[in-house]
């Protein structure tokens, strides 16, 4: 295999494919590499840990077709460090030479015949608007759990819902639900559970793309953006009945400026110094007061103008989870609906109903 290409294009492709490379103990050693396959002037770079696969195609000046597996991190770091923008890579036996200007290096390859054969994506495809889908991922994915001990909660539910697509994630402390009306991806009643890790990488790859193609198989989902293809194994199991977590009615409603609340939480939470120290929201007809107290450190208070209907109520929340929900809720004003100090609260945009963020309160004495 031998080709020439632009350094920046190769760095970008190696970095993207490398994000799927296995970095966990116990994985096949060859999965620490990126598989490079040259056919004519098309170079395909593939990284995988068998759960997640990212393949990138780019145009190069090919001289000799072939296949090789490059050690991912050192290859990416090496190409990124090059001073000359024109790079040549040639494979001879079990080594690859990388040259640029007056720089020359040799890199020991991983055995290409040990790289596993990966599943082909499904034939059926649907096209989504990338901007809307990226916005939905930004709102929902952070609410998924990072605890592999509960694998179901590390996924994002994608479900057919009332003529559109619904994305749902929860870590049992918070719940994010985003509807994409008119986006038909699944059959009526169908749902799949996509690993949140894969969707985080997908959001990173979307960039300024206009469209994204989705192919759903029985066990995998494949997302195609430009010359990049991301394939992830679906999570098997039953997602929790999230509908039962959302209160049917809320006697108390607070309406407040979104940015003002976010900035106030950021300031006040500086005094929530100990782990699990909450920020209290005291709501009344006079408005909203935020309070954080850490014994032997200090306390912080801030008053905000707000509209409130209901009984006077103080509810305490994990400040990071609260801020996460406020930051991704669209609009200039948001509503906080509550039942009492112990039941879940719901954050919505005052002007749009496509997104909902439910947050469990923290019990305080």
Please tell me the predicted confidence (pLDDT) of residue 122: 75
Please tell me the predicted confidence (pLDDT) of residue 12: 95
Give the three-state DSSP class for 187.
coil
Give CA–CA dist 232/52, Å, rounded.
5
- For every one of its 365 residues, what pLDDT tens digit does the chain have, with 9 covering 90 and above? 999 999 999 999 999 999 999 876 567 899 999 999 999 999 999 999 999 999 999 999 999 999 999 999 999 999 999 999 999 999 999 999 999 999 999 999 999 999 998 877 777 788 888 999 999 999 999 999 999 889 999 999 998 887 788 999 999 999 999 999 887 777 777 889 999 999 999 999 988 889 999 988 889 999 999 899 999 999 999 999 999 888 888 999 999 999 999 999 999 999 887 777 899 999 999 999 999 988 888 899 999 999 999 999 999 999 999 999 999 999 999 999 999 999 999 999 988 889 999 999 998 76
- Residue 247 CA to its chain's centroid (Å): 27
DSSP states of 97-131 as a string?
EEEETTEEEEEEPB-GGGSPPPPPPPS--EEEEHH
Give CA–CA dist 249/322, Å, rounded.
21
* Domain range 126-243, CATH architecture: Roll (3.10)
Length of the chain measured in residues:
365
Give CA–CA dist 168/175, Å, rounded.
7
CA 209 vs CA 128, 206, 224, 250: distances in Å: 11, 6, 10, 40
Please tell me the predicted confidence (pLDDT) of residue 186: 73
Residue that has been written with the tokens 């006697």 in this structure? 251
Neighbours of 193 (CB within 10 A): 22
Give CA–CA dist 138/131, Å, rounded.
11
CATH 3.30.1360.120: does it fit domain 247-359? no
Give the three-state DSSP class for 194.
strand
Instruction: Pinpoint the residues of the chain covered by CATH 3.10.150.10.
Output: 2-114, 126-243, 247-359
CATH of domain 2-114: 3.10.150.10
Tell me if 252 sits within 8 A of 261, measured CB to CB: no
β partners of residue 363: none
The phi and psi torsions of 117 (rounded to 5 degrees) equal -75, 125
Please tell me the predicted confidence (pLDDT) of residue 344: 94
Give the three-state DSSP class for 341.
coil
Please tell me the predicted confidence (pLDDT) of residue 67: 97
């Amino acid at each position: 295999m031998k080709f020439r290409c632009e350094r920046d294009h190769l760095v970008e492709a190696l970095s993207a494919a490398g994000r799927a490379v296995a970095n966990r103990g116990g994985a096949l050693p060859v999965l620490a590499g990126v598989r490079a396959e040259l056919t004519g002037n098309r170079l395909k770079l593939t990284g995988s840990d068998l759960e997640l696969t990212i393949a990138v195609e780019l145009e190069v000046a090919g001289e000799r077709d072939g296949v090789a597996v490059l050690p991912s991190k050192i290859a990416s770091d090496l190409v990124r460090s090059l001073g000359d923008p024109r790079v040549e890579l040639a494979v001879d036996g079990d080594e690859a030479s990388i040259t640029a200007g007056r720089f020359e290096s040799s890199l020991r390859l991983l055995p290409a015949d040990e790289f596993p054969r990966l599943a082909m994506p499904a034939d059926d495809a649907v096209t989504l608007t990338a901007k809307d889908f990226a916005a939905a991922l930004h709102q929902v994915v952070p609410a998924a759990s990072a605890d592999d001990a509960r694998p179901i909660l590390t996924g994002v539910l994608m479900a057919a819902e009332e003529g559109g697509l619904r994305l749902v994630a929860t870590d049992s402390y918070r719940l994010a639900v985003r509807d994409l009306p008119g986006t038909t991806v699944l059959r009526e009643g169908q749902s799949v559970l996509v690993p949140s890790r894969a969707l985080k990488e997908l959001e990173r790859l979307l960039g300024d793309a206009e469209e994204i193609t989705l192919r759903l198989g029985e066990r995998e989902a494949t997302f195609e953006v430009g010359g990049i293809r991301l394939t992830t194994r679906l999570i098997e199991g039953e997602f929790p009945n999230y509908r039962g977590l959302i209160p049917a009615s809320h006697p108390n409603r607070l309406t407040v400026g979104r940015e003002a609340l976010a900035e106030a939480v950021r300031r006040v939470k500086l005094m929530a110094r100990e782990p699990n120290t909450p920020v209290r929201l005291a709501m009344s007809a006079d408005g909203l007061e935020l309070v954080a107290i850490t014994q032997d450190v200090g306390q912080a208070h801030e008053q905000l103008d707000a509209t409130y209907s209901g009984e006077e109520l103080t509810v305490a929340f994990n400040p990071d989870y609260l801020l996460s929900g406020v930051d991704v809720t669209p609009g200039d004003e948001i509503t906080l609906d509550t039942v009492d100090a112990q039941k879940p609260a719901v954050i919505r945009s005052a002007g749009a109903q496509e997104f909902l963020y439910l947050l469990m309160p923290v019990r305080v004495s």
